[in-house]
Structure 1
Amino acid sequence: MITIYHNPRCSKSRGACDLVADVYNEAKEPVDVVEYLRNPLTVSELKQLNKMLACPVRDMLRDTEPEYKDLGLADPALTDAQLYEAIERHPVLLQRPIVVRDGRAVIGRPPEAIEALFR
């Protein structure tokens, strides 16, 4: 099963969906496209996703969103728990797209980065 955390308004996210459908998913594995703005992830789900990404929680944040500045998320004193809570309350802060396959995940920026999940 391949899961894509997707924002249909984002060209990079649409590009990742296209690459999975048309290029990388040669085995035609089932794909679950999750529109995370409509179905926000819980803190628990974000922690699980972060574990698969194997990156600092901050790497999951979109620092170009107005909410990032408004909430003071650049403050290095904020804990991971506070960052997870901010993403849960404001899902627009989650990097996109994120593709998950076989217990691993990547942020698809650029969309071609998802190729690593299919090697």
Structure 2
Amino acid sequence: MKIYHNPRCSKSRQGLEILQNSNLEFEIIKYLDTPITESELTEIIQLLNIPPLKLVRKNEAIWKENFKGKELTDKEIILAMVANPKLIERPIVVNNGKAVIGRPPENIKTIL
């Protein structure tokens, strides 16, 4: 099991706490320090079963200034998130071929 975590985000910290309380083994990936690759992000999006745009934090200045209102392909959206990991919604938990976005953090319990 993996959690894609941003320690500065309260929802991400709450998600991490749910995993810590689960007594299951998991890996913490601080995706701002260890960037996610294009193939890794593509796989996560497939596990989430959502279009890439649903994983974008659209209120981030990077999105508003560089991408908002533009016609982007799914691949271009993924590449934008890879180049600007702050754009990735968080936390994301991947477990046994399933993934959820921990917003609200209780969503994580559905795949434990």
Q: TM-score, normalised by structure 1?
A: 0.90
Structure 2 counterpart SS, 1:20: helix
Contact 1:12/1:111 (<8 A) preserved: yes
Identity of aligned residues (%): 39
Q: Displaced runs of 4+ in structure 1, greater than 4 A?
A: none
Partner of residue 9, structure 1: 8
Q: Give the residue type in structure 1 aligned to 2:36.
A: L
Instruction: Please list the CA deviations of residues 69-109 of structure 1 after superposition, one character each: whole Å capped at 9, or x if unmatched.
Output: 1112443x210010011001100000000001111000000
The equivalent residue for 1:18 is 17
Q: Distance in 1 between matches of 2:62 and 2:44?
A: 21
Distance in structure 2 (CA, Å) of the matches to 1:53 and 1:42: 16
Question: In structure 2, what is the equivalent of residue 44 of structure 1?
Answer: 39
**Residue identity opposite 1:79 in structure 2:** T
* SS of residue in 1 equivalent to 2:32: coil
Give the conservation status (yes or no) of the 8 Å contact 1:68–1:74: no
Partner residue in 2 for 1:96: 90
Consecutive unaligned residues of structure 2, counting only runs of 5 or more, are none
Supply the RMSD in Å over aligned alpha carbons.
1.0
Change (3 A) 1:18 1:74: farther
Count of residue correspondences: 112
Task: Name the counterpart of 1:85.
Answer: 79
- Deviation string 1:55-79 (CA, Å, 9 cap, x unpaired) is 111111001110011112443x210
Give the whole-Å Cα distance in 2 for the aligned partners of 1:17 and 1:92: 18
How far apart in 1 are the matches of 2:92 and 2:16? 10
Amino acid at match of 2:89: Q
User: Would the aligned equivalents of 1:4 and 1:31 in 2 still touch at CA under 8 Å?
Assistant: yes
Q: Tell me the equivalent position of 1:70.
A: 65
